[in-house]
Amino acid sequence: MSAVEIKIINRSINDLPAYITNGSSGMDVRASLDIPVTMRPLERTLIPTGLFVEIPDGYEIQIRPRSGLAVKQGITCLNTPGTIDADYRGEIKIILINLSGEEQVIHPGDRIAQLVVQKVEKAEWKPVNELAATERNAGGFGHTGKQ
């Protein structure tokens, strides 16, 4: 499998995001902090990474939570998955929320999220007067019931 090349500036003291195993879809990204950040229960905060990227047209980077952080500390990402568009050049920052019942601390260098590179398809709207029927049709949330 070929890799897409993404230009990156690292203004943190942390290593570049990296795949932990050969089968990993996401690269762990670390907090670029001078001092630890304490998060109260239900508090959300923006954590800097010190990373700036130039994503090629036709791609995005998605920000996703780390399962270990969620299960062990109750910390997850808001706006998940977050999207970094190809034309964004600012610092990557991660919106975290503490869903636990106690204070949690984010330390400098902690792995706080995953970055997943995705190909993006562009859509073109085609206005019509009706849509093709399906078995589901307009059935919405929970329309199939419990199994």
Q: How confident is the model at residue 144 (pLDDT cuts 50, 70, 90)?
A: low
**Domain range 7-119, its CATH number among 3.10.270.10, 3.40.50.300, 2.102.10.10, 2.70.40.10:** 2.70.40.10
Q: Is 70 helix (H, G, I), strand (E, B) or coil?
A: helix
Write out the two tokens for 137. Answer: 């049709």
Residue 118 has pLDDT above 70, yes or no: yes
Q: How confident is the model at residue 37 (pLDDT cuts 50, 70, 90)?
A: very high
pLDDT in tens, 43-57: 999 999 999 999 999
How many DSSP H helices and E strands does the chain contain?
Answer: 1, 10
Residue 16 has pLDDT above 90, yes or no: yes
Q: Which residues contact 116 (CB under 8 A, 6 or more apart)?
A: 25, 26, 27, 61, 62, 64, 81
Torsion of CA 145, 67, 117, 88, to 10 degrees: 100
What pLDDT score does 146 carry? 67
How large is the average pLDDT for residues 76-93?
A: 96
The per-residue pLDDT of the chain, averaged, comes to: 94
Burial label, 48 (beta-carbon count in 10 A; 0-12, 13-18, 19+): middle
Percent of the chain whose predicted confidence (pLDDT) is above 70: 93
How large is the average pLDDT for residues 101-107?
A: 98
* 88 alpha-carbon distance from chain centroid: 15
pTM: predicted TM-score of the whole model, two decimal places: 0.88
Torsion of CA 17, 20, 31, 78, to 10 degrees: 100
Total residues found in the chain within this entry:
147
Residue 98 has pLDDT above 70, yes or no: yes
